[in-house]
Structure 1
Amino acid sequence: MSTLKELTFVDRHWDDSVAEKLSPAERLAYRSNCLGADQRITNTGGGNTSSKVLEKDPLTGEETEVLWVKGSGGDLRTAKLENFASLYMSKLLGLIPVYENAPNNGPKTPAEDNMVGQFPHCTFNLNPRASSIDTPLHGFLPARHVDHMHPNSVIAIAACDRSKELTAEIFGDEIGWVPWLRPGFELGLMMKREVDANPSLKGLVMGQHGLINWADDDKECYDLTLQLIDKAAAYIESKDKGEQTFGGTKYETLGEEKRNGLLVELLPWLRGQVCQQNKFVGTVETRDAIMRFVNSKDAQRLAELGTSCPDHFLRTKIKPLYVDWDATKTSEDDPNGLKSLQAMLESGLEQYRKDYAAYYEACKHDNSPAMRDPNPTVILIPGVGMIAWGKDKSESRVTAEFYNCAVEVMRGAEAIGNYISLPKQEAFDIEYWLLEEAKLKRKPPEKEMSRDIVLVVGAGNGIGKEVAHRLAKEGAHIVCADLSTEAAEKTASELSEIYGQGIGVAGTGISGCGPAIGATVDITNRDSIREMIQQTLLAYGGIDRVIVTAGVFVAPERDGSLSDDKWKFTFDVNVRGSYNVVDEFRSILKSQGLSAAVVLTTSVNGVVGKKGSVAYDTSKAAANHLVRELAIEMAPLVRVNAVAPATVVAGSTMFPRDRVIASLTKYDIEFAESESDEELRDKLANFYAKRTLTQQPITPADQAEAIYFLASNKSSKTTGQIINVDGGLHEAFLR
């Protein structure tokens, strides 16, 4: 393996021209990024890398050996140097006799766990990054550079009943094998003893865990990692039996149109079922690899065994929920099989919760953390695919990714032998490990709306765009809907750039969407609304907040008249359009069964009589009453409120240049044709401001703040109300 060979199953990202410009520690971050860029090498947040380099001691000025190792909770793909812990090697090695002399030391003992608390005493240069539990694995191996990866191909070998035998068969005597042991001090010492006894070793397969390998040159270490993974993958592919690896096909995949139609009806109901304790966001996964698994004869048996690699079941729980549903068994009163599927899911979920509680009770220790949410995070449905759940879209995507990895591990293990999972007690001791609990507590608190899915109609411009940004700031997942596809996608792109990777155009790349998607909608057309709803549900699994800011102002003729068509259009958008959106979501919110909120946008013109905008003003008066009617109809599950703006000129599509000029002329406000749109709008906005009690221009941000209040749980006891955000127009005071 010393000579770099052509790679088939992984990609090589190393670039000498980049690496040669970096310091030894920076090269570690670069190597990590190269490894993390390929999910066949390691999964999100998984794996660990290290380098032992000479650094100048800040106290003595002398060179000292320092271990740089990926810190707790980092991700190799995105890691920067600040994501790595740094420890004096001499102090880290000095912990070995401290541990060995501690009373009652050994695997999974308080003495072993207490050693993690000693790592800060080894910190080099006051580095605040917390060391991970894998630190001894890197520090106690003699090589200067170490890669510990979680590649599907090697985990498949590690999770096979012939693991030790296969390691020797595939890799020869350069790669050794160690049995499963929870990461920590004992595993580090076990590896050290293995290498001391066999100095020629270049790596170890870690039973039911992964791969660790090393070299004294960082590029050589990287290349070795790739070669080992590629060799394992090649061996598995040579043994793979295609569909027969999972026992053959039992069910067929539904056609895309039929599957999506079923999911649109199923997902909100299912989300309500799994969100009985905590709210989750969903990811639908239908790639060929997952469909081959869920449709197979062995899927139920293998799913029940659970996952093997610790990184997997920390996300996917001890096992998924598999539903043995046959999509072909339909009836006149259940034409798409939805009722039978819901019945099977309902009983399956009930049993899953019981099983999880029994697992917790059987395995818990006196000091174990309280039982976590007993609902599954992965649900497998033949013919349909996988539905993964997480506290936000990012986590549900990672959960889906991890179970995809678990499926690949099972495929590999079944191709070369028999798949085995961790014993339940070992799995529990990882899932409820106090050190893992401490890691969870170090994470920043969730944002207020991080578990919420919010539709913003009119998100392409003005108030809607500002609302989308305001709620995304609170962690919400935003469906940016607008009549203009380009404007909707532009807002979604902005949000994804700020708050997370991955932008989805609704209806495409479902599993790839991020914190926002763009969707096209015409709120006067129910078919268009239904299409937007389908896109929303397939992207996130449900809906929590519906916000409509779309509206129109149709200017009358010079004599004040307005044609019948324009009257109808005004009411179609400003009244019927809002009703259409809410009405189409009504059954979904009821099926979901979770508390929700609707916020419409009306206008203070709805209560202020004046000349020149009779159609607009009366439509907004109707919209005000629509809020009250909907609040009554949709109680107690859904709160319905509205914000009533006044003269929001900045950023509003209802104030194009010609309307602004007409208003400036109407009010005898001086202006020049050469002035920009923004300058003209500012003049009009300042004029309107002088008519208010606060004497301040009204902005989209002012409206967004009020809408955020009404959409959030801050107003959980408020419904049927219209809040004026008008700067204080006394004409609109409550009568």
Structure 2
Amino acid sequence: MGDTQATESKAYKHVNHLWDDATAAKLSPAERLVYRSNCLGADQRITNTGGGNTSSKIDETDPLSGESVEVLWVKGSGGDLRTSKLENFASLHQDKLLSLRGVYADQPERGPKTPAEDGMVGLFPHCTFNLNPRASSIDTPLHGFLPAKHVDHMHPNSVIAVAASRRSKELGQEIFGDEIGWVPWLRPGFELGLMMQREVEANPALKGLIMSQHGLINWAEDDRECYDLTLSLIDKAAEFIESKDKGADTFGGAKFQPLGDEQRDTLLVDLLPWLRGQVSQQKRFIGTVQTDETILRFVNSHDAPRLAELGTSCPDHFLRTKIKPLYVDWNPQSEDLASLKEKIAAGLEKYRADYAEYYEACKHDNSPAMRDPNPTVILVPGVGMIAWGKNKSESRVTAEFYNCAVEVMRGAEAMDEYIALPRQEAFDIEYWLLEEAKLKRMPPEKELARKVVVVVGAGSGIGKETAHRLAKEGAHIVCADMNADAAQATADELTGIYGQGIGVAGTGVSGCGPAIAGDVNITCRESIQGLLKKTVLAYGGVDHVVVTAGVFIPPSRDGKVTDQQWQTTFDVNVRGLYNVGDECRELFAEQGLRGSVVLTTSVNAVVSKKGSVAYDTSKAAANHLVRELAVELAPLVRVNGVAPATVVEGSTMFPRDRVIASLTKYDIPFEESGSDDELRSKLANFYAQRTLTKAPITPADQAEAIAFLVSDKSSKTTGQVISVDGGLIDAFLR
């Protein structure tokens, strides 16, 4: 073994060694590839989310001939090494893949970035082993044309820092010696695979290559040996960078000081809704804020404006972060929020113009149409980084990728001088027709994708059902309730179903996913403000607000309603609804994006009956509040209501004692030993017989109506109250 090869006892300082021989010994060769991939992907310092490829050439039995054939198992298009399973890997007959070199050689006009090279991707399916449906990635030739059995292609910050330095070839030689070679930048694909093949043929002792502006690829005949080599190379580069680290003078030293936590968060709460509206002119974005020391060291530095303008280097980085971020030249110590907004507005205008100029200067006759020209990364001195994406997962990964870019710049500047990928090369990656085809193959976005919905009352009943119904349509849900534990339980259910999102562990990036929880008392404006603050810091803004919270306080046995009962009923059912709508008013106005509010009232609002006078009159007031708020919040925000008949299932208004009291009142037979659900079912069926449809009214029925009122299907509907009561004749308006 050369000195770049790790031994079993080697301790790594800059990467985590996760391989366990006992675990690997129980696995098949293909499963060992998955295991190796998961170990590598689990460490962000080894490769970024969704980045990198691994492969193994394995002898398999051909299902038709029964003969042993060599099969290339390689990570397929898309996916993430940390979470990959065997179904995420493509499998190709190695001999058929190699035969494509002859097909390519026969093309009359071949070479880098030619239609002939791109066309080879369409031939990969003809090499498929055992009808594997996983599509092969454009990196497949890199793995197939290298002779070793096992290949790792990673995007480690430390080696990309070498690759993105002006003297990258010389630095690679200084750090790794003759065992690791170097290839100039070339877009991933057939030509790069052939280039690497020629390098190995000319230098058979090579164990890897630095890919200029891109990353690292290395190989071995044993999978554990390949894994150890990958870690050793990354660790060695990181050690070299550490020896050159500039300490307090990193990025030219500090120019600004960070704001205090409270001052920063106050500024962000005021800034983010407005900023979200500014960047969401074409499509809405979900935000992620990063304010840790690492990103602050960069944004507060003297060199940040220069380096930010250069843009990112690694293709994986700028596909998420665009070719460069927007750096805002704002002094946190001497300028205020108004000045910050003014500078961001001017910066956005220039950024869009620059992006349009970049597109026009670099486009080809067959280039796809220009994409959204707004930045996905915004850097603010004293504050940190604000990243944007189509959902929380994407904005978190965008933030992660720019973190990687910052680390690359730090390392390159410590060793030498950072250089970015040339504009034309960046454009040709960003607007690659193969990348465009991949985007078009993605399923259409769901109806409420890119939207943030606050559901007040999400801990149980109608609110919980609504949270699930809207999340199913792609919404990010803020589960709010008086009962914080119940709200958290609903948020946990949603996260369990829809996932936390792919990873930013260890990057300092906010970790929330498709749902968060918060406790709220809608009779207290400060409590509502706290909920909205939490929402804005998590996602950047709010698109829809649904309030299902309410209270029913039964009168005493003689039918009396105390003053306090009247007060509490109206405080929650009327004033509370108004408080929520009113507190959201300024936030909606700052965003400037169309939104909606849906309030839950009741058919009792129009039915006069004994025993619920305070509740019924409060709901009558709530009905009119819907109409008043529709006028107040127009034209930007639609306000509608849903009026359920009695919903027993899952309702906190029907605890066991009230259900038993109602069953007794209506002379409905029941067993005292019956479960809560059994007793509620009896009562619900009794109420159902009062309606035209003769079916119990459920939380799901209400959630469906709410989903309609939140969606664009009701975009011209406001000031309306929809009864979802099964056809309760007493509630017919007259």
Same fold (TM over 0.5): yes
CA 1:638–1:510 in structure 2 vs 1: closer, same or farther (change >3 Å)?
Answer: farther
After TM superposition, the structure 1 stretch with the greater mean CA deviation from structure 2, 512-521 or 434-443, is 434-443
Deviation of 1:734 after TM superposition, in Å, equals: 2.3
Query: Which residue in the other structure is 1:433 paired with?
Result: 432
Deviation of 1:2 after TM superposition, in Å, equals: 3.1
Deviation readout 1:427-469 (Å, 9 max, x if unpaired): 0000000011111122222111110000000000110000000
Query: Which residue in the other structure is 1:81 paired with?
Result: 86
CA 1:655–1:510 in structure 2 vs 1: closer, same or farther (change >3 Å)?
Answer: farther
CA distance in 1, matches of 2:509, 2:15: 25
1:516-535 residue pairs with structure 2 within 5 A?
516-535=515-534
Letter in 2 for 1:65: E
CA distance in 2, matches of 1:389, 1:275: 10
TM-score (norm 2): 0.98
Match of 1:60 among 61, 65, 72: 65
CA distance in 2, matches of 1:147, 1:686: 63
CA distance in 2, matches of 1:211, 1:318: 21
Q: Check whether the contact 1:72–1:439 (CA below 8 A) recurs between aligned residues.
A: no
CA distance in 1, matches of 2:181, 2:207: 8
1:28 aligns with 2:27: no
Query: Which residue in the other structure is 2:538 paired with?
Result: 539
CA distance in 2, matches of 1:307, 1:80: 30
Deviation readout 1:263-300 (Å, 9 max, x if unpaired): 00000000000000111000001121111000000000
1:702 aligns with 2:707: no
Query: Which residue in the other structure is 2:482 paired with?
Result: 483
1:121 aligns with 2:126: yes
Deviation readout 1:115-156 (Å, 9 max, x if unpaired): 111111111111111110000000000000000000000000
CA distance in 1, matches of 2:445, 2:502: 21
Deviation of 1:167 after TM superposition, in Å, equals: 0.3
Q: Check whether the contact 2:5–2:232 (CA below 8 A) recurs between aligned residues.
A: no
Letter in 1 for 2:449: S
Query: Which residue in the other structure is 2:198 paired with?
Result: 193
Query: Which residue in the other structure is 1:672 paired with?
Result: 671
CA distance in 2, matches of 1:117, 1:361: 29
After TM superposition, the structure 1 stretch with the greater mean CA deviation from structure 2, 522-531 or 436-445, is 436-445
1:656-695 residue pairs with structure 2 within 5 A?
656-695=655-694
Query: Which residue in the other structure is 1:165 paired with?
Result: 170
Match of 2:259 among 254, 258, 271: 254
CA distance in 1, matches of 2:280, 2:248: 35
Query: Which residue in the other structure is 2:325 paired with?
Result: 320
Deviation of 1:3 after TM superposition, in Å, equals: 4.1
1:493-642 residue pairs with structure 2 within 5 A?
493-501=492-500, 511-642=510-641
1:400-419 residue pairs with structure 2 within 5 A?
400-419=399-418
Q: Check whether the contact 1:46–1:311 (CA below 8 A) recurs between aligned residues.
A: yes
Query: Which residue in the other structure is 1:723 paired with?
Result: 722
Q: Check whether the contact 1:320–1:376 (CA below 8 A) recurs between aligned residues.
A: yes
Question: Residue 554 of structure 2 aligns to a residue in which SS?
Answer: coil
1:231 aligns with 2:225: no
Deviation readout 1:544-577 (Å, 9 max, x if unpaired): 0000000000010001111111110000000000
Q: Check whether the contact 2:396–2:509 (CA below 8 A) recurs between aligned residues.
A: no
After TM superposition, the structure 1 stretch with the greater mean CA deviation from structure 2, 672-681 or 36-45, is 672-681
Residue ranges of structure 1 left out of the alignment (5+ in a row): 331-336
Question: Residue 388 of structure 1 aligns to a residue in which SS?
Answer: strand
Letter in 2 for 1:364: K
Match of 2:5 among 2, 18, 21: 2
Question: Residue 479 of structure 1 aligns to a residue in which SS?
Answer: strand
Query: Which residue in the other structure is 1:310 paired with?
Result: 315
Question: Residue 511 of structure 1 aligns to a residue in which SS?
Answer: coil
Q: Check whether the contact 1:458–1:481 (CA below 8 A) recurs between aligned residues.
A: yes
Q: Check whether the contact 1:387–1:400 (CA below 8 A) recurs between aligned residues.
A: yes
Q: Check whether the contact 1:492–1:503 (CA below 8 A) recurs between aligned residues.
A: no
CA distance in 2, matches of 1:278, 1:680: 48
Letter in 1 for 2:497: I
CA distance in 2, matches of 1:2, 1:319: 36
Deviation readout 1:204-246 (Å, 9 max, x if unpaired): 0000000000001011101110111111111111111123120
* Aligned-pair Cα RMSD in Å: 1.1
Question: Residue 535 of structure 1 aligns to a residue in which SS?
Answer: helix
Query: Which residue in the other structure is 2:455 paired with?
Result: 456
CA distance in 1, matches of 2:205, 2:291: 44
Deviation of 1:502 after TM superposition, in Å, equals: 6.1
CA distance in 1, matches of 2:6, 2:135: 36
CA distance in 2, matches of 1:23, 1:192: 28
Query: Which residue in the other structure is 2:420 paired with?
Result: 421
Question: Residue 313 of structure 2 aligns to a residue in which SS?
Answer: coil
Q: Check whether the contact 1:503–1:513 (CA below 8 A) recurs between aligned residues.
A: no
Deviation of 1:672 after TM superposition, in Å, equals: 2.2
Question: Residue 126 of structure 1 aligns to a residue in which SS?
Answer: coil
Q: Check whether the contact 2:313–2:419 (CA below 8 A) recurs between aligned residues.
A: yes
Match of 1:130 among 132, 135, 149: 135
Query: Which residue in the other structure is 1:111 paired with?
Result: 116
TM-score (norm 1): 0.98
Letter in 1 for 2:364: H
Question: Residue 177 of structure 1 aligns to a residue in which SS?
Answer: strand
CA distance in 2, matches of 1:733, 1:515: 39
Q: Check whether the contact 1:496–1:503 (CA below 8 A) recurs between aligned residues.
A: no
CA 1:659–1:3 in structure 2 vs 1: closer, same or farther (change >3 Å)?
Answer: closer
Query: Which residue in the other structure is 2:44 paired with?
Result: 39
Q: Check whether the contact 2:487–2:519 (CA below 8 A) recurs between aligned residues.
A: yes
Letter in 2 for 1:432: Y
The list of structure 1 runs, each at least 4 consecutive aligned residues, that deviate by more than 2 angstroms after superposition, is: none
Deviation readout 1:250-273 (Å, 9 max, x if unpaired): 111000100000000000000000
CA distance in 2, matches of 1:658, 1:24: 61
Q: Check whether the contact 1:50–1:146 (CA below 8 A) recurs between aligned residues.
A: yes
Q: Check whether the contact 2:399–2:509 (CA below 8 A) recurs between aligned residues.
A: no
Query: Which residue in the other structure is 2:99 paired with?
Result: 94
1:467 aligns with 2:466: yes
Deviation of 1:667 after TM superposition, in Å, equals: 0.7
Deviation of 1:675 after TM superposition, in Å, equals: 1.4
Letter in 2 for 1:51: S
CA distance in 2, matches of 1:522, 1:546: 15
Question: Residue 454 of structure 1 aligns to a residue in which SS?
Answer: strand
Letter in 1 for 2:605: G
Deviation of 1:503 after TM superposition, in Å, equals: 12
CA distance in 1, matches of 2:630, 2:689: 34
CA distance in 1, matches of 2:674, 2:135: 57
CA distance in 1, matches of 2:239, 2:568: 64
Matched pairs, number: 725
Question: Residue 213 of structure 1 aligns to a residue in which SS?
Answer: strand
Question: Residue 512 of structure 1 aligns to a residue in which SS?
Answer: coil
Question: Residue 510 of structure 2 aligns to a residue in which SS?
Answer: helix
CA 1:503–1:45 in structure 2 vs 1: closer, same or farther (change >3 Å)?
Answer: closer
CA distance in 2, matches of 1:246, 1:562: 69
1:211-226 residue pairs with structure 2 within 5 A?
211-226=216-231
CA distance in 1, matches of 2:536, 2:79: 31
Question: Residue 121 of structure 1 aligns to a residue in which SS?
Answer: helix
CA distance in 2, matches of 1:665, 1:295: 70
Q: Check whether the contact 1:73–1:439 (CA below 8 A) recurs between aligned residues.
A: no
Letter in 2 for 1:633: E
Letter in 2 for 1:86: S
Letter in 1 for 2:377: V
Q: Check whether the contact 2:6–2:232 (CA below 8 A) recurs between aligned residues.
A: no
Letter in 1 for 2:312: T
